[in-house]
């Protein structure tokens, strides 16, 4: 049974904060006690002033009473001021102390003297209520009852001495003193109980307030860290609150934090505005796919869910909570799962490719031993070179599919301009694109740390991609190298193709995404992975060259010493669906190359 009773009080989320909140609650209780103590001390000073003025008036009018009572009242006022100004309240709960004698004891003694020696018919008995209340509210029950008992004993003694015993006057005064003392006992008991109850209620209220404040902070942290957008909208379509994810979905960095927004005020928010209005109309939550247009060039799709707040009075709900989930993230998760499955399948595919490649390489080696004509020798060398190249491509795809640790061996420092001319010349011969390609090396003496075959694959992929979209006119494709600051080289491949569609831009560097049915969708993704392996960065922009608009892919590679080698960095794996990669990588500078202007 004891176990069942204790199980009802399971630790809450805030049980770890109870120690800290208890110390803070103790500080609040002490402050409240000090304020109440000072209020009583001020009341004592005020009563002492009134009694002094009254005694001076009695003395001036000679209406009765000895003159030395003025001195008693003056000393009482001095004692009250001294306690108020130069003493500090004792700790709550202590039953006895010198301070009680300086306050309660002095008051009882002064009021008793005034009551006993007064001759003007003034009754000072109600003044005894002040020390009784002071002891009951600020002291313990023992101190309160002792004060009430002292007052009662004095009243009974005063009544017994004022008239002969067993006379009618003595009996009436004793009865009145007894009733008055009983009233003081009741006041002491009730005031003490009420003070304790108020103290408990104050502690409970402070604990509840601390728990509510902590709960609100926890809720705010959870809502602010959600990747899902959360909006609070009223019946008029005014956005009362929005978490950072929702603010970014609606307006990006330009969201006005100090102003409330109206959903119907922007045409790009019509979808969510109609969904909220319909939810209020039908009186229940709805779900739908909506579009948000942050600007005229950008459109995002979201899955929206609405939930109406409950009204305790049974009236219609006044607030609607709108949840927005970016469909790009959902699609990115699907693509991540697809990429994982493709990575598992790549090992089997690579094994199946390597077996026939080995057979082709061995057969070509045997054939090369048999042939002697120069033309046949040239063919066997072509077979050997392309077989080796295909083997390296398979290795690169596997390295991209599964991130490998950084290698210890270094890579050579390649001269940028010389390597650029060599790769461009090789690509021209292979694709027979004389006149289409223009090479503009402008980085003399600059070296970058790149594996020659990886740099060749990077530029060949970009040139093949440019050739597919270029117009085919003279110099419709340009390859440019130039310094970018003091520590980087900018390699760009420009073509005069049409602007890329927004749907393509969003997934430009993602794996297995292609706008062509015959493409594997790995070209630009491998380019990005190769760049990041060597500390370079790749990005796309729409630019203008010689008064012609075109598409430009550019790489920023770090410059190294031409006589040294640089270690290969670990290939970084960015999550598919990263929309930033479709335009530029974080940290890329958009400095324009010579004769190139960014649109």
Domains of the chain, residue spans: 13-208, 227-331, 335-401, 410-598
DSSP H or E segment with residue 224? helix 168-225
What's the whole-number mean pLDDT along residues 365-372?
Answer: 84
Per-residue model confidence (pLDDT) at position 575? 34
Q: What is the share, in percent, of the chain residues with pLDDT greater than 90?
A: 13
**pLDDT of 589 above 60:** no
Q: Do domains 227-331 and 335-401 have the same CATH topology?
A: no
pLDDT digits (tens, 9 = 90+) for 260-276: 788 887 888 888 889 98
Lowest mean pLDDT among 38-52, 76-90, 562-576: 562-576
Per-residue model confidence (pLDDT) at position 168? 66
Q: Which fold has domain 410-598?
A: Heat Shock Protein 90 (3.30.565)
Rounded to an integer, what distance in angstroms lies between the CA atom of residue 453 and that of residue 421? 14
Residues 139/100, Cβ–Cβ less than 8 Å? yes
With the CA atoms of 204, 208, 211 and 213 taken in that order, what torsion angle do they form, in degrees rounded to the nearest 10? -130
> Which 3 state secondary structure label does DSSP give 164?
coil
pLDDT digits (tens, 9 = 90+) for 474-530: 888 999 999 988 889 999 999 988 888 776 777 777 766 665 544 556 678 788 888
Q: Which fold has domain 335-401?
A: Helix Hairpins (1.10.287)
What is the average pLDDT score of the chain? 78
> Which 3 state secondary structure label does DSSP give 455?
helix
Residues 448/409, Cβ–Cβ less than 8 Å? no
Per-residue model confidence (pLDDT) at position 494? 92
- Residue 464: how many other CB atoms lie within 10 Å: 15
Specify the pairing of strand 229-234 against strand 319-326: antiparallel
**pLDDT of 541 above 60:** yes
Residue 78 tokens read as 């001095």
Please name the residues in contact with 519: beta carbons below 8 A apart, sequence gap of 6 or more.
none
Give the confidence band of 567 by pLDDT, cuts at 50, 70, 90: very low
**What is the C-alpha end-to-end distance of the chain, expressed in Å?**
78
Partners of 241 in the beta sheet?
232
Give the confidence band of 571 by pLDDT, cuts at 50, 70, 90: very low
> Which 3 state secondary structure label does DSSP give 339?
helix
Residues 577/334, Cβ–Cβ less than 8 Å? no
pLDDT digits (tens, 9 = 90+) for 188-243: 999 989 988 888 888 788 788 888 888 888 888 888 888 888 888 888 888 888 88
Q: Which fold has domain 227-331?
A: Beta-Lactamase (3.30.450)
Lowest mean pLDDT among 265-269, 379-383, 448-452, 587-591: 587-591
- pTM, to two decimals: 0.44
Per-residue model confidence (pLDDT) at position 598? 55
């Amino acid at each position: 049974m004891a176990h069942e009773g204790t199980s009802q009080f399971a630790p809450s989320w805030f049980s770890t904060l109870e120690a800290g909140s208890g110390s803070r609650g103790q500080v609040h209780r002490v402050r409240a006690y000090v304020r109440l103590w000072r209020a009583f001390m001020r009341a004592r000073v005020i009563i002492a002033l009134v009694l002094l003025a009254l005694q001076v008036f009695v003395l001036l009018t000679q209406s009765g009473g000895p003159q030395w009572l003025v001195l008693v009242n003056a000393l009482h006022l001095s004692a009250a001021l001294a306690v108020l100004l130069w003493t500090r309240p004792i700790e709550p709960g202590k039953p006895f102390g010198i301070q009680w004698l300086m306050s309660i004891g002095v008051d009882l003694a002064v009021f008793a003297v005034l009551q006993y020696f007064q001759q003007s018919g003034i009754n000072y008995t109600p003044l005894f209520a002040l020390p009784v209340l002071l002891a009951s509210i600020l002291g313990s029950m023992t101190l309160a009852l002792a004060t009430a008992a002292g007052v009662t004993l004095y009243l009974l003694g005063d009544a017994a001495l004022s008239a002969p015993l067993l006379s009618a006057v003595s009996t009436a005064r004793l009865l009145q003193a007894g009733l008055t003392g009983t009233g003081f006992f009741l006041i002491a008991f009730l005031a003490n109980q009420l003070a304790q109850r108020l103290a408990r209620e104050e502690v409970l209220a402070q604990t509840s307030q601390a728990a509510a404040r902590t709960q609100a902070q926890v809720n705010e942290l959870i809502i602010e860290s959600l990747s899902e957008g959360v909006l609070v909208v009223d019946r008029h379509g005014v956005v009362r609150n929005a978490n950072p994810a929702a603010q970014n979905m609606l307006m990006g960095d330009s969201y006005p934090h100090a102003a409330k927004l109206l959903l119907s005020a922007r045409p790009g928010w019509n979808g969510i505005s109609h969904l909220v209005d319909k939810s209020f109309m039908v009186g229940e939550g709805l779900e739908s796919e909506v579009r948000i247009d942050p600007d005229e060039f950008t459109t995002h799709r979201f899955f929206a869910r609405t939930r109406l707040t409950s009204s305790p009075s049974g009236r219609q709900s006044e607030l609607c909570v709108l949840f927005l989930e970016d469909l790009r993230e959902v699609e990115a998760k699907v693509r991540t799962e697809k990429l994982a499955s493709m990575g598992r399948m790549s090992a089997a595919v690579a094994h199946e490719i390597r077996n026939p490649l080995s057979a082709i390489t061995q057969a070509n080696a045997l054939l090369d031993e048999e042939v002697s004509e120069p033309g046949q020798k040239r063919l066997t060398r072509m077979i050997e070179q392309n077989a080796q190249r295909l083997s390296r491509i398979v290795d690169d795809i596997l390295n991209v599919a599964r991130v490998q640790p950084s290698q210890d061996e270094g890579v050579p420092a390649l001269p940028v301009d010389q390597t650029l001319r060599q790769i461009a010349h090789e690509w021209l011969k292979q694709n027979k694109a004389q006149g289409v390609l223009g090479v503009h090396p402008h980085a003399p003496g600059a070296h970058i740390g790149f594996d020659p075959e990886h740099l060749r694959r990077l530029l060949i992929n970009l040139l093949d991609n440019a050739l597919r979209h270029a117009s085919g006119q003279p110099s419709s494709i340009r390859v440019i190298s130039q310094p970018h600051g003091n520590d980087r080289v900018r390699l760009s491949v420009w073509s005069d193709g049409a602007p890329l569609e927004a749907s393509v831009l969003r997934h430009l560097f993602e794996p297995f995404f292609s706008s062509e049915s015959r493409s594997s969708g790995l070209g630009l993704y491998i380019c990005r992975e190769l760049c990041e392996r060597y500390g370079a960065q790749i990005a796309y922009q729409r630019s203008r060259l010689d008064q012609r608009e075109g598409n430009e892919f550019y790489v920023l590679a770090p410059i190294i010493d031409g006589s040294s080698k640089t270690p290969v960095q670990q290939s970084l794996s960015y999550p598919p669906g990263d929309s930033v990669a479709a335009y530029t990588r974080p940290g890329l500078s958009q400095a324009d190359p010579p004769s190139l202007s960014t649109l």
